[in-house]
Amino acid sequence: MIAPNESINEEPIRLDGLDNCIIGTDVRGYLIYDYGKLLNHFVLEGMDEGEAMEWVDYNIIGMQSQNFIILFDDFDLEITMQ
């Protein structure tokens, strides 16, 4: 989880319950979410990998917001039990 600071824009979209998926902010102060962490979050909530990917793609990326960023990287979904 990131600590609030001056670099966070007053108008970013903060996805409820997904602070653990935030990896930083951009120059505008918008929050940057890691796609792999988003998937991992929903798998840990009980979805399988396909369901998590469909949910994130439709419900988060599908918002097409300009007030947050999703960082895509080459990844292998690695489930980490916490």
The tens digit of pLDDT for each residue in 57-75 reads 999 888 767 777 777 765 5
Give the lowest-confidence range in 8-22, 38-52, 53-67: 8-22
Q: What is the pTM of this model?
A: 0.71
> How far is the C-alpha of 76 from the C-alpha of 1, rounded, in Å?
22
53 exposed, middle or buried (CB, 10 Å; 0-12, 13-18, 19+)?
Answer: middle
Q: Where are the domains of the chain?
A: 19-71
> Of 14 and 42, which is predicted with more confidence?
42
Tokens of 27: 């120059």
**What tens digit of pLDDT does each residue of 47-58 get?**
999 999 999 999
Of 5, 26, 31, nearest in space to 16 by CA: 31
Query: Would strands 68-71 and 31-34 be described as parallel, antiparallel, or unpaired?
Result: parallel
For the chain, how far is it from start to end, CA to CA, in angstroms? 15
